[in-house]
Every structure is written in structure tokens, then in C-alpha cells.
Amino acid sequence: MIEVRDLRREFSVTSKTGRFRRTRRTVVAVDAVSFDVAAGEAVGYVGPNGAGKSTTIKMLTGILVPTSGHVRVSGVDPSRSRRELARRIGVVFGQRSQLWWDLPLRDSFDLLRAIYRVPAAEFARRLEECTGLLELAPFLDTPVRQLSLGQRMRGEVTAALLHGPELLVLDEPTIGLDLESKERLREFLAELNTARGTTLLLTTHDLDDIERLCPRLVVIDRGTVLADGPLEELRSEVAPERVLVVDLETPTAPLEGLPGVVSVRVELAGLRQHLTFRRAETTAAALISAVATRADVHDLVVEEPEIDDVVRRLYARR
């Protein structure tokens, strides 16, 4: 669905260096980026501010022409076949609207139907589906400028889906939304991916979006790909240890010497113990059984590093 090889994009910027002097320098926003996205995948494209995410997305959607490298999206070269691409993919930029500001939502949708020449029955079916799932019905006759950010975003997503795209590209889709709106949108996108098979590529700073939606993560920093793989794989790569926290029925001496355990921290005079263990050497289940032979367990929890922590460790590795 997406094929990116050695993608590079430079920008030429001029800055004032004296009263009358200006110097020109080249900023490399994206450098040697390669990745593929297969049909039906949901991939999160993450990185810190200025990493090159938006620049990549703009090249994938034909808004920017690459300086060098190869891009194919839905079988076409985005910057050369922008119109054809627009018929095959949907794009949502959280910070920019594709809706007509002064028109009611419904009229924006009608205009998009005419632009993309969507057959009337197909359009009606998709509109009804999105309106239902995204709870848009009460706002269809409201001018876009009077909508709240969350209502507008639901409108943006609907607008991007009216022509039935096989790929949906989203740049910061949940930015600025409250928790409930974020959750509603995530649920909708997850359903779109799993039930309808629509491929998703999204950039976000909210890693909960990734945790909820994207089994695979591409991490970019300073224009280059730092890591690419399933979240679970990246987690075990950067954090080879997990922690089993056990609450015991009676104060117990530190549970040292269990297989795979690298350290033990004791709290509450031995009632609570934190056992750090290597995931490559033992499993949580084996360790729990081993603990049970030495003490009566009241309660337990296995702590994994949060996704924010995983991504932070990936940046730090550089």
C-alpha cells in the first residue's frame, strides 16, 4: 500500500546574519527514510517535534515533492498523480480543515461527493454509517465554524472517508480533543481498520493513540528511522526486564535467588516485594509459581514499561 525507499527532502532556508547579509543553508528534514506498509496494517509514525513526520506525510500525499528517493502510495507516485491518489486515499490533518468553513457540514459533504463523483447510494450509505458511529447527526446542519474542535474532527474524518478510500492517513488526529472525543475517534478508527480493512497510517504525540490503534510503530528522529516494528518487540528490545510486584500474607525475607530474577526490592517490612526479572530468562507465570513455593501470595501485578517510556528509551539510544 505504501512503499518508501531512501526518501529525502531538503529545505533551503535563508537567515539574516548581519544588517544586510543573508545566508542560505540547507535543512534536511527527511533523510534516507525507508519503510513499507501492507494493505490492512495500522502503523503509528512517531517522533519528537521537528523529527520529519509531517514532511514525510506531505510527500506521501503528494503535497511536497521529494528531493530524492522513491515513494509509491496505492500504486501511484503521489506528487505526479495527486488527483488519482486523492480518489484512492483519505487524508486528515488535525491542524488543517478540508471542510468549507461557512457551510453546514452536510453541504461540505455534498461538495466532496460531487468532487470525487461518489455514486449517490454509496455516498448515502457511508454518510449514514459515519454519522451513526461518530454521533454526528445533531451537527449536520451546523456551519463548520460553529462546531467544537471534537465535532469538527469527526466531520473531517467523515469527509475523508466518503469516497471509500483504501488508505487513511492521519496527521495528529486527536490533537486538542478531550478524553471522551479521543476515545470515540480511536474506537471508530480501530473498527475501520479491523472490520473494514482500511489501512491506517497516523502521526501522533499521544502515544495512547498508538497503544490503542497501531500494532506497529515507526519511530523517526532527526529525519531518519530509529526503529520499526511491533510495539511488543520494541518494548522487549529497549526494556529487557519486567517487574513482578507481589503482596504477601506475612512479612517475608527478600525472595532472592529465584531463576531469572536480577534484583529484589522489599517494602512494608517484607509484605510487598518487587522482583525485577529478565523476560528472556523466565516468564511471569513461571516466576509466580516459584514465588508461591516460598510464600503465601495475597495479590500480584506485572509491571511493563509504559509506551511513553519505550519511545523515550528509543530516542535516548541515539
Ligand X SMILES: Nc1ncnc2c1ncn2[C@@H]1O[C@H](COP(=O)(O)OP(=O)(O)OP(=O)(O)O)[C@@H](O)[C@H]1O
Interface residues with ligand X (CB under 6 A) are: 11, 13, 27, 29, 47, 49-55
What is the DSSP pairing of strand 2-16 with strand 89-93?
unpaired
| Nearest residue (CB) to ligand X, 40 versus 48 | 48
Q: How near is the Cβ of 287 to ligand X at its closest, in Å? A: 39
| Nearest residue (CB) to ligand X, 54 versus 131 | 54
Q: How near is the Cβ of 52 to ligand X at its closest, in Å? A: 4
| Nearest residue (CB) to ligand X, 48 versus 164 | 48
Question: Which residue stretches of the chain are H helix?
Answer: 53-60, 82-88, 105-116, 120-133, 149-161, 179-196, 207-213, 231-238, 284-292, 307-317
For residues 276 and 246, give the distance between their C-alpha atoms in angstroms, rounded to a whole number: 11
| Nearest residue (CB) to ligand X, 149 versus 292 | 149
| Nearest residue (CB) to ligand X, 58 versus 242 | 58
Q: Which amino acid is at 89?
A: I
Decide if 192 contacts 200 (C-beta within 8 A). Answer: yes
Q: How near is the Cβ of 227 to ligand X at its closest, in Å? A: 15
Q: How near is the Cβ of 253 to ligand X at its closest, in Å? A: 50
Listed in sequence order, the residues at least 6 apart from 118 whose beta carbon sits closer than 8 Å to its beta carbon are 112, 126, 162, 163, 164
| Nearest residue (CB) to ligand X, 9 versus 113 | 9
Listed in sequence order, the residues at least 6 apart from 161 whose beta carbon sits closer than 8 Å to its beta carbon are 90, 126, 130, 168, 192, 198
Q: How near is the Cβ of 119 to ligand X at its closest, in Å? A: 36
For residues 242 and 262, give the distance between their C-alpha atoms in angstroms, rounded to a whole number: 10
For residues 203 and 207, give the distance between their C-alpha atoms in angstroms, rounded to a whole number: 10
Dihedral angle computed from the Cα positions of residues 70, 71, 74 and 77, in that order, rounded to the nearest 10 degrees: -80
For residues 161 and 296, give the distance between their C-alpha atoms in angstroms, rounded to a whole number: 55
Q: How near is the Cβ of 43 to ligand X at its closest, in Å? A: 15
